[in-house]
Amino acid sequence: MKGKRLLLGLMMTASAAASAWAQEAKDITVVLDEEVDLVEPCMATRSNIGRIILQNVSETLTELDVRNNKGLMPRLAESWEEASPGTWRFHLRKDAKFSDGSAFDAGDVKHSIERAMSDKISCESPRYFGDTKLETKVVDDNTIDITATPAQPILPLLMTLVTIVPAETPIEFTREPIGTGPYKLTEWKAGQSITLTRRDDYWGTAPEVTKATYVFRADPSVRAAMVAAGEADIAPLISELDANDAEMDFSYPNSETFYMRLDHSIPPLNDKRVRQALNMALDRDAFIGTLLPKGAIKATAIVPPTTLGWNPDVKVAPYDPEGAKKLLAEAKADGVPVETPITIVGRTNNFPNVVEVLEAAQQMFEEVGFKTKLQMYEVAEFEKQYSKPYPEGRGPLLVAAQHDNARGDPVFSMYFKYDSNGRQSGIANPEVDKMIAEATAATGEKRAAGWKKLIAYLHDDVVADVLLFHMVGFARVNPRIDFTPTIATNSQLQLSEIRFK
């Protein structure tokens, strides 16, 4: 605490001395909670990268509008239609250029999809497509057919996840992203800052923000103080405790679900009674309004309640420490090694109070008889625990993570979280695989019913995870800025949505 007060004091002093970050009228500074290790466009679905890159530097064919509830909107594709079963034809914008001056055409789309899906590069995008295979056919410079196998009824929505790069981009991660967006990356000081500069040759309406500098501060109080002092314009993620100024602070449902992924392949987590005991050991109500904001909602699914097929009949596991102890005793009597130490893996700066939340959960687990240890990692190291291939000899793990789904359909979550081949799945269950495949291929009411059935099965029959909370975010915005956060703000921050008062 003493260190925090000293740091804040230094910052206020720096402000009084007209800080080095003083901005031009149309330049802004964004202070983020964690540094980025990559600026690769095909990794832009990861929130810390997406907030900088997505739709600012690198654009997608389509875009889901959550600010004005317009649904799926054109971006680099002006229109699209299903040309034949499984094949969608996209009509591309003719006036877009990349920031290196080269023209955008269908060949770039073909290359971007093939690059993102290649097994020679570990992009984030494929995890959302499950086992769906994509084939592309360039019809002409401004028209491309994309065929999904099996047929994918929401393929245009899935295209909101594939960022477009020039056809010359090699199949390896780039540190100099070239995109068609309204900004280009002009400076990256690793560990310090990233600068985006507005392009003069952007195909769309010129945004008001001329330059955005992103800086990184782990302490939420410091981020809030920087905006209050005029040293930053937006802090997309601050703590509820620091959100104490009605003129500058916003709360918003941020579409994140906080959960602990269980690895069912390793004892004792391969025993359903143990998984149930973990869920029953947690007093979820004790977190809300203390370590987590009052608006946090107890979760029964990996997707928020606004998602298609969300199941209101599924109920949160009751807080029942005595019941949890009884289940562990039964499992132990059957030879399950319930005393094996379990490692809780967390991501540093994942959200305000994440360490305190995990420490409290650890204490609750141990009160019913579990032996645990807590291990926090920075984002790059955390990913090694979170995504396959998982480390050899890892032992039983509870991987505490947030999952973001603001796109309204569970297809963006279910395959890679729960299919046997899902990149971040902790289970291998043929019935779950079958249910995911059926719901993914369905439309209308049948699709909603399929997701609803799966949500109940995962929660009640499989006990796949320790589901915790649908989260609430708090952001601080400098009064000189006209910007209201949305459910998408945690995963993307479009500079073109920012105005000046």
Strand partners of residue 477: 234
How far is Cα 348 from Cα 479, in angstroms, rounded to an integer? 30
Question: Nearest Cα to 257, choosing from 195, 321, 199, 300?
Answer: 300
CA distance 265 to 398: 12
The amino acid occupying position 446 is: K
- Burial of residue 298, with CB atoms counted within 10 A of its CB: 0-12 exposed, 13-18 middle, 19 or more buried: middle
Q: What is the pLDDT of residue 15?
A: 44
Closest CA to 162 of 232, 112, 98: 112
Model pTM?
0.77
Angstrom distance (rounded) from CA 411 to CA 405: 9
Asked if residues 179 and 164 have their Cβ atoms less than 8 Å apart, the reply is yes
| Token duo for residue 399 | 């991987």
Place of tokens 């703590």: 239
Contact 125, 45 (CB under 8 A): yes
| Amino acid letter, 493 | L
The parts of the chain modelled with pLDDT lower than 50 are: 1-22
DSSP track, 85-154:
TTEEEEEEPSS-B-TTSPBP-HHHHHHHHHHHH-TTS--SGGGGGTT-EEEEEEEETTEEEEEEES--TT
Q: How far is CA 42 from the centre of its chain?
A: 14
Q: What is the dihedral of CA 452, 455, 456, 458, to 10 degrees?
A: 150
Tokens of 299: 């979760």
pLDDT given at position 24: 61
Closest CA to 409 of 134, 130, 79: 130
- Residue 142 in tokens: 């401004």
Q: CA 326, 329, 330, 336: dihedral to nearest 10 degrees?
A: 140
pLDDT of residue 150: 87
Per-residue confidence (pLDDT) for residue 8, from 0 to 100: 43
